[in-house]
Amino acid sequence: MVLRADLPASADWRILATDISTLALQRAQRGNYTPAQAAAVPRRFQATAFATGAGPDGDVLRVVDDLKRRVLFRRLNLGRTPFPIRGDFDVVFCRNVLIYFDPRQRAAAVAEFHRLLRPGGHLIVGPSETLLGVEDRFERRQPAVYRRV
C-alpha cells in the first residue's frame, strides 16, 4: 500500500512474501480481512486498498487485485540455507525470526540476506533483534535497520 501510494505509477516493484506456514501463506494470499482486522490500516490506504464484499460471517474487506498482483507468496524455511532464491532485493524484512535461531543459524540467515540484497540495500529486523556478532557485512543505520556494505 505504501509503495503504491508513494512511488511513481510507472515504478516496477514486487514483493516476495514468505513464511514457513502454508496455512499463513494461504490466508495472506486470499487477502480477506474483517473490518476489525483492517482497522489498523491507515485511513489514507483503506479506500484504495480494499474492496468491500460479503462473507459468511459478515462484511469482508478484500485486498484489491492491483495490489495482489504485486505480491508473490512462497513457503520458505529461514532456518535452512542456502535459500532457493535469487535476486538483488532493495529491502529484506525479517522481523522477530532471528531471536529464535541459535548463533549458527542466525549467522547463516544473515549471510543469505547479504547475498540477496543489492549493495546499499537494507535489512530490517525486529525491534528486539540485533546483528551483534554477525554484522560485519552490514552497517547499522538505526535500531533494527542495517545497510548492506
> CATH 3.40.50.150 region(s) of the chain?
77-148
Contacts of 101 (CB under 8 A, 6+ apart): 78, 79, 109
Mean pLDDT of 32-44: 91
Q: Which fold has domain 77-148?
A: Rossmann fold (3.40.50)
Assign 58 a pLDDT band (cuts: 50, 70, 90): confident
Asked whether 75 and 20 are in contact (CB, 8 A), the reply is yes
What pLDDT does 54 receive?
76
What pLDDT does 112 receive?
97
Closest C-alpha among 109, 91, 81 to residue 147: 91
Q: Model pTM greater than 0.95?
A: no
pLDDT in tens, 112-145: 999 999 999 999 999 999 888 888 899 999 999 9
User: Which helix (H) or strand (E) element contains residue 27?
Assistant: helix 22-30
Taking the chain, what is the end-to-end CA distance rounded to the nearest angstrom?
A: 28
Q: What is the mean pLDDT of the chain?
A: 93
pLDDT in tens, 72-123: 999 999 999 999 999 899 999 999 999 999 999 999 999 999 999 999 999 9
Closest C-alpha among 148, 144, 104, 105 to residue 126: 144
Q: Is the pLDDT of residue 8 over 80?
A: yes
